[in-house]
Amino acid sequence: MRFPEDVPVLTDGVVTLRAHTAADVEPAFRMCQDPVMQQWTTIPVPYLREHAVNFLTEVIPNGWRANTLWAWAIEYDGRYAGTIDLGDGEGGVGEVGFAVTPDVRGNGVMTRALKLAVRYAFDELNWKRVIWRAFVGNWASRRVAWKAGFRGLVTIPGGGRARGVRKDEWVASVGRDDELEPQGNWWSVTELEGRGIRLRALRESDAHRVMEACNDERTQYWLAGLPSPYSLEDAEGFIKGRLQMLADGVGVSWAIADAATDELLGNVSIFDLNHRIDPTMGEIGYWAHPDARGRKVITTAVELVIAHAFTPIADGGLGRRRLVLMAAAGNSASAHVAEANGFTRVGHERLAAPLRDSAYDDLLVFDRLIGD
């Protein structure tokens, strides 16, 4: 191919992919000064003007000529807004890399550009599969890949490398016959409010209250799976992990906060939302901070979550048909929450609830169907 004459122009009417020009060097250089860019990509740091000159005027043109790298400037709103490239391609499988300038992020530019490039890989380069990689924690990139139909995400500990340092990596891919549309649900935490409480996303600043609640003797006794003792790092890890739970489609976890002071009073979650056999079910779980017990905080939180869970996905809910709730037979406060919320006791499993002291209690199973 000749550069730039043979570089195809791809557009969806909003975003255009075109050959780079010398005028793109300056904005590309500026984009690479962005700390977010430096954190999540393998560009040299410090990033010098000569790096941009070399990449845009040597590496990219040579890549097109040699059929080894297909890189476009992303044009949006009449100006350079980033770069996207396809690389490798041996055996019909290659990788995609991308970045957009900080000022245009969050407008769907990258998702549009990614779909255009992936279509080109399949239709013109005849690839069978495109691979996306990102360092673990690059949620914006993961979201873009998810929106463009990348699937089968796995985490490879130490699988990535930037400037001589190994990093955990996410990898996902999309195949030629796959739809370039999201696969599976990426849930969000809808705020729910009623009777003096607000259900909202957990925040880093909740960590201390989470630690207190999870170190409490009663919480520790009935939730035998919790680390013991439960450290501040455990709490921070729990809060960070909620994002993963949403993105994986597994569940939604809310902080139960005092509507007036915003102080954390407890936690309510609904999980197993991507149950392999019945993706219309969900299981509810909760704990209360010791100073919030005995005032119907959890009963109210569960009531709010039930209404949200039975609301169709199209209307912003979780589209559930059946909810289950389990409680150890001796945990009468928990059974009370279930019964107060219209759950029916449908099962009694013998010695199925492990307790903190290596003993087992019977497990009561409750359910509630959408029509109940």
Ligand X SMILES: CC(C)(COP(=O)(O)OP(=O)(O)OC[C@H]1O[C@@H](n2cnc3c(N)ncnc32)[C@H](O)[C@@H]1OP(=O)(O)O)[C@@H](O)C(=O)NCCC(=O)NCCS
The residues of the shown chain that bind ligand X, judged by CB under 6 A, are: 36-37, 40-41, 98-100, 104-111, 134, 138-141, 143-144
Question: In whole angstroms, how close is the CB of 40 to ligand X at the nearest point?
Answer: 3
Question: In whole angstroms, how close is the CB of 84 to ligand X at the nearest point?
Answer: 9
Q: Tokens at residue 91, please?
A: 């055996």
Give the C-alpha separation, 125 to 6, whole Å. 14
Q: At residue 171, what are phi and psi to the nearest 5 degrees?
A: -135, 135
Question: In whole angstroms, how close is the CB of 42 to ligand X at the nearest point?
Answer: 9
Which CB atom, from 6 or from 26, has the smaller least distance to ligand X? Answer: 26
Question: In whole angstroms, how close is the CB of 95 to ligand X at the nearest point?
Answer: 10
The neighbour count for residue 35, using CB atoms within 10 Å, is 9
CA 118 distance to own-chain centroid: 22
Place of tokens 């219209």: 342
How does DSSP classify residue 126?
-
Residue 170, beta-bridge partner list: 134, 155
Question: In whole angstroms, how close is the CB of 77 to ligand X at the nearest point?
Answer: 12
Which CB atom, from 97 or from 282, has the smaller least distance to ligand X? Answer: 97
Pairing of strands 264-271, 322-328: unpaired
Query: What's the chain's Rg over C-alpha atoms?
Result: 25
Which CB atom, from 148 or from 235, has the smaller least distance to ligand X? Answer: 148
DSSP secondary structure of 309-334: HTS-GGGTS---SEEEEEEETT-HHH
Which CB atom, from 59 or from 355, has the smaller least distance to ligand X? Answer: 59
Which CB atom, from 246 or from 270, has the smaller least distance to ligand X? Answer: 246
Q: At residue 205, what are phi and psi to the nearest 5 degrees?
A: -70, -5
How does DSSP classify residue 211?
H
Q: Tokens at residue 169, please?
A: 């990596």
Question: In whole angstroms, how close is the CB of 325 to ligand X at the nearest point?
Answer: 29
Q: Tokens at residue 20, please?
A: 């780079």
Which CB atom, from 120 or from 230, has the smaller least distance to ligand X? Answer: 120
Which CB atom, from 153 or from 197, has the smaller least distance to ligand X? Answer: 153
CA-CA-CA-CA torsion sign (123, 128, 133, 139): positive
Which CB atom, from 133 or from 368, has the smaller least distance to ligand X? Answer: 133
Q: Tokens at residue 163, please?
A: 């400037």
Residue 366, beta-bridge partner list: 325, 345
Give the C-alpha separation, 268 to 305, whole Å. 8
Q: Which of 282, 290, 266, 270 is nearest to 367 (CA)?
A: 282
Question: In whole angstroms, how close is the CB of 54 to ligand X at the nearest point?
Answer: 19
Question: In whole angstroms, how close is the CB of 285 to ligand X at the nearest point?
Answer: 24
Q: Which of 347, 340, 339, 341 is nearest to 363 (CA)?
A: 347
Question: In whole angstroms, how close is the CB of 45 to ligand X at the nearest point?
Answer: 13
Question: In whole angstroms, how close is the CB of 134 to ligand X at the nearest point?
Answer: 4
Which CB atom, from 85 or from 216, has the smaller least distance to ligand X? Answer: 85
Residue 7, beta-bridge partner list: none
Which CB atom, from 101 or from 219, has the smaller least distance to ligand X? Answer: 101
Q: Tokens at residue 133, please?
A: 């990689």
